Amino acid sequence: MKTKIAFLSLVFFCFVYGKTALYAQEIADDLLTKMDQTIFGIKDRTANIEMLMINLKTGKQKQKTAILLQKGANKKLFRYTSPKSDSGIATLSLPNDEIYLYLPLFKRPKKITNLAESNTFNKSDFSVKDMATKPYAEIYTPEMLPTTDTAHVLNLKPKTDNSSYSHVIVYINKIYFYPEKFEFYNRKGQKVKQSIYHYILIDGYWIADVVSMEDLKKRHKTRITMSEIKINQGLKDELFTVENLAGHK
């Protein structure tokens, strides 16, 4: 009799635990989808970029400027305008994980491989992959973590093995569902980078106007500040081509 009761208790526990785990997964999936909808809710945007790179050990700073064009979740053009040594350097992100880099010195765009995507983008703390744009739900599987007073917290695990991160922890604003902070962990499980976001409201959409990325090992930070932000202008697909990247259109 005791054995039967113990068996039934185990079955009941497994059933309840399974239902609870399934419900938690549904919540995590829903939160990540809402975050993507908030980030990619606009049709397109343009902005002027100021990139400030800070050596946290010495306090030394370098400043660069650029322009940003983005359409939907999968098309993004980033081109430096200053200093003179960097002017014209650009990246183009396209659907199907295609990323192109253009260096004026070589006169032609180069497709970036998976190996190179983890490299830093023009000596900043962002990798080439970080500069690309793709819905997080397509890249990661989320798991619920304990919340904070103001944010839902998800542990994001890459869906493929070609990621340089073992997992990423994201803090999602409980009211507006935009990401406030990301923590990046390497393949050894060590926290190596973190990014912090600030948002402004433009025409009913929450838009990130300041993003900082800090390399914890190098003690180096890059802060991107966006100004003259314009959204939903009807940008043409012709702007997001390899020919345009090289300035041939």
Say if residues 102 and 77 touch (Cβ distance below 8 Å): no
Tell whether pTM > 0.85: no
Residue 27 lies in a domain: no
- By the 10 Å C-beta count (0-12 exposed, 13-18 middle, 19+ buried), 228 is classed as exposed
The CATH number given to whatever domain includes residue 118 is 2.50.20.10
> For residue 58, what are the domain limits?
33-245
* Distance, CA of 78 to chain centre: 15
**Helix (H) or strand (E) run with residue 136 in it:** helix 136-139
Domain count, the chain: 1
- One digit per residue, pLDDT tens: the chain, 249 residues? 555 554 444 444 444 445 567 778 999 999 999 999 999 999 999 999 999 999 999 999 999 999 999 998 889 999 999 999 999 999 898 988 788 999 988 888 988 876 454 556 656 787 766 655 678 999 999 999 999 999 999 999 999 888 889 999 999 999 999 999 999 999 999 999 999 999 999 999 999 999 999 999 999 999 999 999 999 999 999 999 998 887 644
**What does the alpha-carbon distance between residue 154 and residue 192 come to, in Å, rounded to a whole number?**
18
CA pair distance 109, 99, nearest whole angstrom: 10
pLDDT tens per residue, range 206-244: 999 999 999 999 999 999 999 999 999 999 999 999 988
Q: What is the rounded distance in angstroms from the CA atom of residue 36 to the CA atom of residue 170?
A: 12
Tell me which DSSP letter residue 183 carries. E
**pLDDT, tens only, 63-97:** 999 999 999 888 999 999 999 999 999 989 898 87
Quick one: how far is CA 147 from the chain centroid?
21
Q: Is 13 a member of any domain?
A: no
Is residue 5 situated within a structural domain? Answer: no
In-domain check, residue 124? yes
Contact between 135 and 40 under an 8 Å Cβ cutoff? The reply is yes
Instruction: Assess contact for 153 and 146: CB atoms under 8 A.
Output: yes
Tokens of 132: 């690309």
> Does 25 reside within a domain?
no
Instruction: Look at residue 26 and tell me if it is in a domain.
Output: no
**CA 9 to CA 1: how far, in whole Å?**
12
Q: Is 126 helix (H, G, I), strand (E, B) or coil?
A: coil
Residue 3 lies in a domain: no
Please report, for residues 108, 113, 159, the alpha-carbon distance to residue 65 in angstroms, rounded to integers and kept in the order given. Answer: 22, 26, 34
14 inside domain = no
Signed CA dihedral, 119, 121, 124, 125: sign only: negative
Distances (CA, A) of 167 to 11, 30, 193: 33, 19, 12
- Secondary structure letter of residue 100 according to DSSP: E
Which residues lie closer than 8 Å to 196 by C-beta, 6 or more apart?
180, 181, 211, 212
CA angle 236, 212, 225 (to 5 degrees): 50
